[in-house]
């Protein structure tokens, strides 16, 4: 009587097929990332969108062997009192000292479309950058945490705290790194003609303004300047924050409850491990 033995494992054909699929996915990574993130936008799940974006940024950093990450920022709309209404996006950025002309310079990845957060949802790092000298490392910026209503009652302050970056190292680790976002042409404030960058620019011709408009500089004080990347933030509801701000209590009336339980990110994967919305 013959005993039949089951054989486990993959055949040579199956292994080769798997390798071909991996190579093809690698070659199509950018379109795949765009398609995946756009599909996430339709689900209305902010945490899932953020996790998907951070995972993609981490993969980009490891693939390109450069610092890369996700930049949270509101669209630039000229005029006063419009920051609260402006939509907030996640923008994929990568370190590029040569193009930006900055030692700590990052630029937007032109082949990945910025991802808009759900209409009523926003994120803040709850930190204001109150001082920075142009030739210094952004890590040396003077900063203060938002703990008072008066620190979050102006457009400059709101722009500052809703503009920040999450950065991954070439090894894929979540890191605190100096970030100075500039257009891919390295053009500074007042440069004519303006940059052709589709994402970041000097004032007026792109979706987002670059980091050359921080408080204390002889330009329009928009609250956009170099700063360290972040490891945590809060997720807030726009309508609740708006109501608290109109009541004169944007921090004590609403943000305080979120600030005590912020969103933390895993140091290795960069994924959300706890959230202030629950």
Write out pLDDT tens, residues 47-66.
Answer: 889 999 999 999 999 999 99
What would the mean pLDDT of 173-177 be, rounded to a whole number?
Answer: 96
Is pLDDT at 112 greater than 60 in this prediction?
yes
Cα dihedral angle (224, 225, 228, 231), rounded to 10 degrees?
0
Spell out the residues 6+ positions from residue 43 whose beta carbon is closer than 8 angstroms to its own.
49
| Pair of tokens at residue 31 | 């379109």
Q: Model confidence at 40, in pLDDT bands (50, 70, 90)?
A: very low
142-145 and 127-131 beta bridge pairing: antiparallel
Question: Is residue 206 helix, strand or coil?
Answer: coil
> How confident is the model at residue 190, as a pLDDT?
76
Question: Is residue 86 helix, strand or coil?
Answer: coil
Q: Which domain holds residue 18?
A: 12-274
> How confident is the model at residue 223, as a pLDDT?
85
> How confident is the model at residue 35, as a pLDDT?
53
Please indicate, yes or no, if residue 156 is contained in any of the structural domains. yes
H-run or E-run covering 185: none
Please indicate, yes or no, if residue 209 is contained in any of the structural domains. yes
Please indicate, yes or no, if residue 5 is contained in any of the structural domains. no
Please indicate, yes or no, if residue 101 is contained in any of the structural domains. yes
> How confident is the model at residue 179, as a pLDDT?
96
Please indicate, yes or no, if residue 1 is contained in any of the structural domains. no
Q: Kindly state the DSSP code that residue 255 receives in the 8-state scheme.
A: I
| Pair of tokens at residue 47 | 């945490």
Is pLDDT at 239 greater than 50 in this prediction?
yes
Is pLDDT at 247 greater than 70 in this prediction?
yes
> How confident is the model at residue 159, as a pLDDT?
92
> How confident is the model at residue 44, as a pLDDT?
40
Q: Please, what's the b/e burial string for 78-107 (b: 16 or more CB within 10 A of its CB; e: otherwise)?
A: eeeeebeebebbbbbbbbbeebbebebbbb
Is pLDDT at 226 greater than 90 in this prediction?
yes
Q: Kindly state the DSSP code that residue 224 receives in the 8-state scheme.
A: B
What would the mean pLDDT of 69-96 be, rounded to a whole number?
Answer: 88
Please indicate, yes or no, if residue 4 is contained in any of the structural domains. no
| Pair of tokens at residue 32 | 């795949």
Tell me how many domains the chain contains: 1
> How confident is the model at residue 219, as a pLDDT?
60
What's the alpha-carbon Rg for the chain, to the nearest Å? 21
Provide the 10 A C-beta neighbour count for residue 22: 10
> How confident is the model at residue 175, as a pLDDT?
97
> In whole numbers, what is the pLDDT of the chain averaged over residues?
83
| Pair of tokens at residue 190 | 């007042």
Is pLDDT at 33 greater than 90 in this prediction?
no
């Amino acid at each position: 009587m013959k005993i039949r033995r089951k054989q486990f494992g993959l055949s040579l054909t199956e292994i080769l097929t798997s390798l071909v699929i991996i190579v093809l996915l690698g070659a199509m990574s950018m379109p795949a990332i765009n398609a995946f993130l756009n599909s996430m936008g339709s689900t209305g799940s902010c945490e899932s969108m953020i996790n998907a974006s951070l995972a993609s940024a981490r993969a980009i950093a490891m693939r390109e062997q450069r610092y890369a990450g996700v930049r949270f920022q509101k669209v630039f709309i000229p005029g006063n009192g419009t920051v609260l209404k402006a939509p907030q996006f996640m923008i994929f950025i990568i370190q590029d000292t040569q193009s930006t002309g900055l030692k700590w310079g990052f630029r937007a990845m032109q082949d990945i479309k910025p991802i808009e957060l759900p209409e009523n949802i926003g994120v803040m790092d709850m930190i204001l950058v109150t001082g920075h000298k142009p030739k210094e490392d952004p890590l040396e910026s003077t900063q203060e945490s938002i703990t008072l209503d008066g620190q979050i009652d102006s457009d400059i302050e709101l722009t500052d705290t809703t503009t920040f970056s999450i950065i991954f190292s070439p090894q894929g680790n979540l890191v605190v790194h100096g970030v100075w976002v500039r257009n891919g042409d390295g053009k500074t404030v007042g440069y004519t003609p303006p940059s052709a960058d589709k994402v970041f620019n000097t004032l007026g011709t792109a979706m987002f303004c670059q980091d050359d408009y921080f408080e204390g500089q002889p330009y329009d004080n928009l609250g956009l300047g170099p700063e360290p990347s972040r490891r945590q933030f809060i997720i807030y509801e726009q309508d609740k924050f708006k109501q608290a701000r109109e009541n004169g209590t944007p921090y004590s009336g609403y943000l305080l409850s979120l600030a005590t339980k912020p969103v933390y990110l895993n140091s290795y994967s960069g994924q959300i491990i706890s959230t202030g919305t629950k």
